[in-house]
C-alpha cells in the first residue's frame, strides 16, 4: 500500500491515514475512488470534476487547484509497482491524501449477487463527502444478512441506489435507471453512453419483478443482481442484456488502446456509438 500526503510519501501508520476509515469519522472533506486499467486511471477527469462538485455541495473550499490534486494522484500512482490499482483520494480543508492499493476483485460476483433493501436516505446524495456513515451503515447491515450490498430505499418507498453503487434494471426489453437523489456514478454515465436507457423511479416490489437487475461501480464495473431480499430476479441467473452491456462496457473502456469488433448484439445503438464506431461493427 502506498500513502501520500500533499504529494509526499508518509508511513501507513500516520494518523491522517484514519481519514480513509469512515468509522473514525468526524472529519470534513470529500473523496473519490478510482481504478486503473493497464496503469491508466479510468476517467480521471470525470472523477476530478465530481470531486470539485462534491466540495461545492458540502461547501468545502479547496485549498489547492484541481490540477495540483491531479498531480498528487499521478505521483502516488507512479510509486506503485502493482496493477490494477484502487486509488482513493481524500481532500480536507488542509490536506490531499492519496492511497493506492492493489485492487482485488472476487470474480464470483459476476455470477450474480444478492442484495438487501435498507430504508435509508443519504444526506447529500450527489456528493462523495467524508460524511458517508449512512452508506457504510446500510452496507454493513446488508453484509450481516449475507448480501453483497444494500439497496437504499427512501421515505417514499422508492429504491434510489446501492450503498456504494448505482442501480439499473431491465423490464420487457427496456433498460432503466434512477436519476434523482443519487450519486451520479462515473460507471453509470458510461453505461448511459453505450445504451438506450430511461430514467424512472421504482419501488421494492416492482424491482423484484424486473427481468434483470444490476449495479454499477468504478472498481467492479457491472455487477449482476440475482436476488433481492431473498427473492430471485428473473430466472435467478445473469440476464442476457446484463451480459451484453458488460461486453460493450469492456469494449468501450478498451476502445482507444485496443479497438476490436463491436460486441453489441440486438440492442439499439446509441447515437454517439453509431456515429463514431459504425465502421468497427
Task: Enumerate residues 199-228 that contact ligand PDD by CB under 6 A.
Answer: 216-219
Say how far apart CA 44 and CA 32 lie, in whole Å: 10
Nearer to ligand PDD, 216 or 252 (CB): 216
Closest approach, Cβ 33 to ligand PDD, in A, equals: 3
* Residue 149 engages ligand PDD in binding (rule: CB under 6 A): no
Cell of 69: 490534486
Nearer to ligand PDD, 20 or 251 (CB): 20
| Runs of H (alpha helix) within 125-264 | 133-144, 186-194, 204-208, 240-254
Nearer to ligand PDD, 180 or 209 (CB): 180
Q: Is 128 a catalytic residue?
A: yes
Q: What is the largest CA-CA distance in the chain?
A: 54
With beta carbons less than 8 A apart as the criterion, state whether 142 and 149 touch: yes
Closest approach, Cβ 183 to ligand PDD, in A, equals: 4
**Candidates 22-30, 158-166, 235-243, 248-256; binding stretch for ligand PDD (CB under 6 A):** 158-166
* Count of residues near ligand PDD by CB under 6 A: 15
Q: How far is CA 258 from the centre of its chain?
A: 23
**Candidates 12-20, 179-187, 191-199, 249-257; binding stretch for ligand PDD (CB under 6 A):** 179-187
With beta carbons less than 8 A apart as the criterion, state whether 99 and 2 touch: yes
With beta carbons less than 8 A apart as the criterion, state whether 151 and 115 touch: yes
CA nearest 215: which of 270, 139, 281? Answer: 139
CA–CA–CA angle 84, 149, 82 (5° rounding): 10
3-state secondary structure of 236: coil
Closest approach, Cβ 280 to ligand PDD, in A, equals: 25
Q: Which of 29, 185, 224, 246 binds ligand PDD (CB under 6 A)?
A: 185
* Residue 131 engages ligand PDD in binding (rule: CB under 6 A): no
Q: Which H, E and C letters describe 85-128, residue by residue?
A: EEEEEEEECCCEEEEEEECCCCHHHHHCEEEEEEECCCCCCCCC
Active-site residue, from 128, 208, 209, 250: 128
Nearer to ligand PDD, 47 or 234 (CB): 47
Number of H helices, E strands in the chain: 7, 15
Task: Enumerate residues 21-40 that contact ligand PDD by CB under 6 A.
Answer: 33
Nearer to ligand PDD, 128 or 262 (CB): 128
* Residue 187 engages ligand PDD in binding (rule: CB under 6 A): yes
Check residue 203 and report its DSSP letter: B
Q: Which of 129, 166, 178, 242 binds ligand PDD (CB under 6 A)?
A: 166
Say how far apart CA 37 and CA 199 lie, in whole Å: 29
**Candidates 66-74, 142-150, 180-188, 227-235; binding stretch for ligand PDD (CB under 6 A):** 180-188
Taking CB positions, which residue lies at the least distance from ligand PDD? 185
Nearer to ligand PDD, 50 or 234 (CB): 50
Instruction: Kindly list the catalytic residues.
Output: 128
Contacting positions for ligand PDD (CB under 6 A)? 33, 135, 161, 164-166, 183, 185-188, 216-219
Amino acid at each position: 500500500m502506498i500513502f501520500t500526503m500533499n504529494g509526499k510519501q508518509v508511513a501507513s501508520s500516520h494518523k491522517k491515514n484514519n481519514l480513509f476509515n469512515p468509522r473514525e469519522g468526524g472529519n470534513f472533506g470529500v473523496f473519490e475512488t478510482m481504478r486503473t486499467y493497464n496503469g491508466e486511471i479510468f476517467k480521471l477527469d470525470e472523477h476530478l470534476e465530481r470531486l470539485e462538485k462534491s466540495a461545492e455541495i458540502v461547501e468545502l473550499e479547496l485549498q489547492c487547484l484541481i490540477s495540483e490534486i491531479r498531480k498528487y494522484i499521478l505521483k502516488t500512482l507512479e510509486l506503485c509497482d502493482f496493477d490494477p490499482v484502487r486509488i482513493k483520494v481524500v481532500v480536507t480543508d488542509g490536506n490531499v491524501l492519496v492511497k493506492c492499493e492493489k485492487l482485488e476483485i472476487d470474480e464470483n460476483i459476476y455470477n450474480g449477487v444478492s442484495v438487501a433493501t435498507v430504508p435509508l436516505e443519504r444526506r447529500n446524495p450527489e456528493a462523495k463527502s467524508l460524511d458517508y456513515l449512512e452508506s457504510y451503515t446500510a452496507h454493513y447491515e446488508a453484509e450481516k444478512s449475507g448480501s453483497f450490498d444494500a439497496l437504499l430505499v427512501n421515505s417514499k418507498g422508492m429504491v434510489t441506489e446501492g450503498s456504494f453503487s448505482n442501480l439499473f434494471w431491465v423490464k420487457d426489453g427496456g433498460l432503466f435507471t434512477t436519476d434523482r437523489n443519487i450519486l451520479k456514478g462515473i460507471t453509470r454515465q458510461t453505461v448511459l453512453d453505450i445504451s438506450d436507457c430511461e430514467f424512472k423511479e421504482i419501488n421494492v416490489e416492482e424491482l423484484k419483478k424486473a427481468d434483470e437487475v444490476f449495479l454499477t461501480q468504478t472498481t467492479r464495473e457491472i455487477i449482476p443482481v440475482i436476488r433481492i431480499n431473498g427473492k430471485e430476479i428473473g430466472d435467478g441467473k445473469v440476464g442476457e442484456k446484463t451480459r451484453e452491456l458488460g461486453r460493450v462496457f469492456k469494449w468501450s473502456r478498451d476502445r482507444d488502446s485496443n479497438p476490436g469488433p463491436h460486441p453489441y448484439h440486438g440492442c439499439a445503438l446509441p447515437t454517439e456509438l453509431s456515429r463514431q464506431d459504425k465502421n468497427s461493427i
